[in-house]
Amino acid sequence: MTFLESIGRSTVEKVEYIGGLAIQFWRGLVSSWRINPFTGSRLRWKTTVRQMAVIGVQALPVVCLISGATGLIMALQGGAELRKFGAMGVVINLVGTSMTRELGPLMAAIVVIGRSGSSISAEIGAMTVTEEIDALRTMALDPVEFVLVPKYIAMMAMMPCLTVAAVFSGILAGGIFTYYTLDMTLSVYLQRTAEILMMRDIVSSMAKAVAFGTIIVHVGCFEGFTVTGGPEGVGRSTTNAVVKSIFLVVLADLLFTAFFYFFWR
């Protein structure tokens, strides 16, 4: 295979992958209304609630710990440089805007990828290998509706909540720094932070949370549905789900940041 052939084959494979994700996303979106407790089955609604607990509640301590450490690290690093210019008060702006716009949603997404994205891919991959997905199709049941949609709805409900928790944890950690370096009380610190935050920061954070959650659940499910090769394939699909989710989340973060920078200042 020549160099140009390898580039062409790789390009076609990537386009096919994006197309498969787009088709799965549309099918999941169309099927999502059936999860409504007033129209859907009780079993699927209970499954959705269980997924909310796994994706959101169980991930909350890790998200808060990592985001708090990130906020404190940012405050320490920023304070070390801003001290040279006598602008220690700018640390409040640095931590507040950075955690709200970028690091809060990103830290929450990375934790969810490691916890839930990998487990979703492994779970569905095991179902594919043991032919449980084929059994659903044989019974005229849509695997997207029965397997993907509960996870998708749970992710859409929990990802913004985890993002809010990540942002608040990072900002509170920055308050620890200002308390010991600027003798600023927590109430004054939070008031200053609320003054510097704008609506575009909050909208950007929530939009990223929804987009990141969509990427994580669909990449994990797609890798699980397309697994081949038995148990080794399940391991490969889990690895691919984590790597591709991180790449697409960072790419989406770049696109959102560029959009808000150029079109909403």
Instruction: Report the alpha-carbon distance of residue 54 to residue 150 in Å, rounded.
Output: 12
**pTM of this structure:** 0.89
What pLDDT, on the 0 to 100 scale, is given for residue 260?
86
Q: List the chain domain ranges.
A: 39-263
**How many CB atoms are located within 10 Å of the residue 49 CB?**
13
Contacts of 67 (CB under 8 A, 6+ apart): 99, 103, 104, 107, 108, 165, 166, 167, 169, 170, 173
pLDDT of 154 strictly over 60 = yes
Task: Tell me the mean pLDDT in the region 236-260.
Answer: 91
Give backbone dihedrals phi and psi of 39, rounded to 5 degrees, phi first.
-120, -30
Radius of gyration of the chain (CA): 21
* Residue 35 token pair: 């999860």
Judging by beta carbons within 10 Å of its beta carbon (0-12, 13-18, 19+), is residue 44 exposed, middle or buried? Answer: middle
What pLDDT, on the 0 to 100 scale, is given for residue 38?
59
Instruction: Report the alpha-carbon distance of residue 93 to residue 174 in Å, rounded.
Output: 10
Nearest partner of 58 among 94, 109, 111, 19, judged by Cα: 111
pLDDT digits (tens, 9 = 90+) for 167-183: 999 999 988 888 888 87
pLDDT digits (tens, 9 = 90+) for 15-67: 888 888 888 888 888 887 766 655 555 557 788 888 899 898 999 999 999 99
Tell me the CA distances in angstroms from 130 to 6, 38, 123, 143, 251, one per residue in order: 33, 33, 11, 14, 34
Q: What amino acid occupies position 60?
A: L
The least confident of 169-183, 213-227, 246-260 is: 169-183
Q: What amino acid occupies position 66?
A: I
Task: Indicate the pLDDT class of residue 112, thresholds 50, 70 and 90.
Answer: very high
For the CA atoms of 160, 163, 169, 174, the dihedral, rounded to the nearest 10 degrees, stands at -130
Q: What is the DSSP letter of 40?
A: S
**How many CB atoms are located within 10 Å of the residue 91 CB?**
25
What pLDDT, on the 0 to 100 scale, is given for residue 68?
93
Instruction: Report the alpha-carbon distance of residue 115 to residue 107 in Å, rounded.
Output: 12
pLDDT of 1 strictly over 70 = no
As a whole-number percent, the residues of the chain with pLDDT over 90 amount to: 31
- Asked if 174 and 95 touch (Cβ cutoff 8 Å), the reply is yes
Tell me the CA distances in angstroms from 219 to 22, 213, 222, 233, one per residue in order: 10, 10, 5, 15
